Amino acid sequence: MSLETMKGLLENVIIIKEIVIIIKDVVESIQQLIKKDIKTCKEIEPAHGYGLQPIGRCVFQTYNLLIYRKLAPGQYGLEPRETPQELAPGESLPIPLDFTEAGTVQLIISADVSSNVPVRLAIYNAQGEEIWADRPSTRIVGDRLLDLEAPGSYELRIENPSSATASLTGRLEVIMCSDPAVRSWPRQYIKSAIKYATLNGVKTKTAPMGIAVYGVKKDGGYILTTDAVKGVAYIPPDVSASGYRRDGSYYGQAFSVQLNAFVIAKLKDGTAQYYWVRNIVGFKENKIPGVWNKIWRIIQRFFKYKRLKVRNYIEDVTTATSTLDKSRVRGKGKIYNKPAGPGNYYEYVMRGSIPFGRIELETWVCVDDGKIIVEFYANGQKYDEVTIRPYAPATSAYIEIAPTTTSAGRPLDLMLVFGGYDIGIPWAFLNAGQIGLELYVRMNGAWVPPPSAWSVGYGTAERSYASVVPQGVGSAIVKPGPPNSQQLWAGTIIATPIGFNIITSTDLSSYASLNLGNGTRLILTGAYINGRPAQLSSLSNVPLGSIVVLQYKRQYFVSISAPGNRTTGWFDEN
């Protein structure tokens, strides 16, 4: 048997194996749908509705005092703990406030805190000097208003000046208003996301690199809600990325591209639950012990057999100590304990693999019969459907991007980023090749880019040594180089049948008609501004930073000639 014949047979075996796995997945999905007798999220109208809501020049941070650990004298840090926060005499709980832009920040501290002994709120500057303090009390309720000068770093502290240990419960919300507060919002998370790691003995700058959305634009913050998000990754087979283990040692070729979002579920009892959902595609070099690993690598190179794996991940982030109840979660995957620290997560690895090239990841969210449904798609195929049955029936579930945090202090962002393969191989060093990324949200039946984005993500443990170059609205390229922080785009997003535009004008009157040439044009028939129907006349004054979806009908210029008569004009396609 010739070498070419052997190569062909092996390739056929691999293809047949992949087809069998895909058929099994399709059959399993059909069986699940028949058994559950429910519609897919693509068929269910979102109960919450979706769109973009400007919220002015304010950003928000929320803190649940039940999630902080006891602090030793002089120690600052946060740790999950499901008991009241305890502060020994003289101790304090710090909340950092960082502003990178010049100006004045209006600070509103909204408190509802109870303690067994008197405690107080105080603010310190970067030099540790007290610039404001409240009177000690066992009950801190209401709003405190003050101004802070920016740029600058501050700490809001809950202090225990008493001689007995304080046991704290309650909630704090810090509202920061002004242009410097809005512009500083993404920068504080970007700054903390860029970290150094020692990889093979070399100190290396790393971060989750790609496209990240934080819910702010130049003129203020916004809340964007949707039932679906989509990330597109162009991963060529010649991409080379070195993967590194948690101890910094070299693993081999390994990397991932992650579509990460936050799901909010509103329950019938008036409460809300938060979930972090991730749709991930990645490559990890197979490691076979001894000489067989070298043989396998030779086979891969010779037959050019490199494939990508797809997986998903769900974590309950309502508080820092929230966990998934195994009896209330259904899907193809399993619930695992975190390798470090408390908590657990749901994960499923899709059977089989997909080829390098263009990969489309979609995450859809809906509610059916009081249950939260999260659907995961890869290249149009639904590979997993996860049903979460909360303790009270859910009335709505949606993906949200906003300049605010969960009670555990995590910003509600959306990202499509390049990083390490998983928590066991958390770092990727992009050596060669480029990866193209596109990020979309679903609005009024169309996939549209969000109105603003940055190059650095936040919150995921998987990071990379790579650079990002913007490629127009909605897209960017990840290439070799050190991590760089920049805004990729910002402005009013206009979605038409022929593509996307981004502008900084409020007058969209010119979009009433689009001339395509060759006697063809599009005539505007409908408009949606930030998810809501709009009068066509309102396009002359559209708020900057909006998402505008325009609908058209096609017309053709027709000329009909007959003896003694000639008719010309524009006529509808149908």
User: Read out DSSP for 368-409?
Assistant: ETTEEEEEEEETTEEEEEEEE--SS-EEEEEEEEEEEE-TTS
pLDDT at 164: 94
Domain boundaries, the chain: 58-68+82-183, 202-488, 508-572
Q: Is 339 exposed, middle or buried (0-12, 13-18, 19+ CB in 10 A)?
A: exposed
Cis peptide before 94 (omega within 30 of 0): no
Tokens 């890869």 appear where?
A: 378
* CB-CB contact of 464 with 429 (8 Å): yes
3-class SS at 505?
coil
What are the backbone angles phi and psi of residue 206, rounded to the nearest 5°? -135, 155
> Interior CA angle at 295 toward 289 and 301, to 5°?
125
Q: For the beta carbon of residue 2, count every other beta carbon within 10 angstroms.
A: 7
Tokens 């997993």 appear where?
A: 384
* CB-CB contact of 385 with 365 (8 Å): no
Classify residue 227 as left (phi > 0), alpha (psi -120 to 50) or beta: alpha
pLDDT at 342: 72
pLDDT at 573: 87
pLDDT at 45: 72
Q: Is 269 exposed, middle or buried (0-12, 13-18, 19+ CB in 10 A)?
A: exposed
Q: How far apart are CA 353 and CA 346, in angstroms?
A: 20
C-alpha distances (whole Å) from 25 to each of 355, 359, 363 are 17, 18, 18
Sign of CA dihedral 29, 33, 38, 43: positive
DSSP codes of every residue in 66-118: GGPPP--TT-------SS-EEE-TT-EEEEEEEEEEEEEEEEEEEEEEEEEEE
What per-residue string of b and e applies to 175-213 under the rule 16 or more CB within 10 Å gives b?
A: bbbbbbbbbbbbbbbbbebbeebebeeeebebbbbbbbb
pLDDT at 331: 98
Q: Is 556 exposed, middle or buried (0-12, 13-18, 19+ CB in 10 A)?
A: middle
Contact residues for 12 (Cβ-Cβ < 8 A; gap 6+) = none
Helix (H) or strand (E) holding 9: helix 3-36
pLDDT at 27: 55
Classify residue 220 as left (phi > 0), alpha (psi -120 to 50) or beta: left
The answer to whether domain 58-68+82-183 has CATH 2.60.120.380 is: yes
pLDDT at 322: 86
Q: Provide the β-strand partners of residue 263.
A: 275, 399
Question: What's the whole-model pTM score?
Answer: 0.85
pLDDT at 12: 57
* CB-CB contact of 291 with 311 (8 Å): no
Tokens 């209401």 appear where?
A: 142
Helix (H) or strand (E) holding 295: helix 291-303
Contact residues for 211 (Cβ-Cβ < 8 A; gap 6+) = 415, 416, 417, 437, 439, 453, 454, 455, 457, 468, 475, 476, 488
Sign of CA dihedral 442, 447, 450, 455: positive
DSSP annotation of 207 reads B
What are the backbone angles phi and psi of residue 439, rounded to the nearest 5°? -130, 130
Q: How far apart are CA 435 and CA 420, in angstroms?
A: 14
Give 10-residue mean pLDDT values along the chain (574 residues): 55 56 56 55 76 90 58 32 74 89 94 93 95 95 95 94 90 91 92 95 98 90 96 97 97 98 95 96 81 58 73 92 91 91 90 95 96 97 97 95 88 98 97 98 92 96 98 96 96 91 91 91 94 93 92 91 82 85
pLDDT at 403: 95
C-alpha distances (whole Å) from 248 to each of 198, 287, 418, 429 are 6, 17, 18, 12
The first and second tokens of residue 1, run together, are 């048997």
The first and second tokens of residue 76, run together, are 């600052």
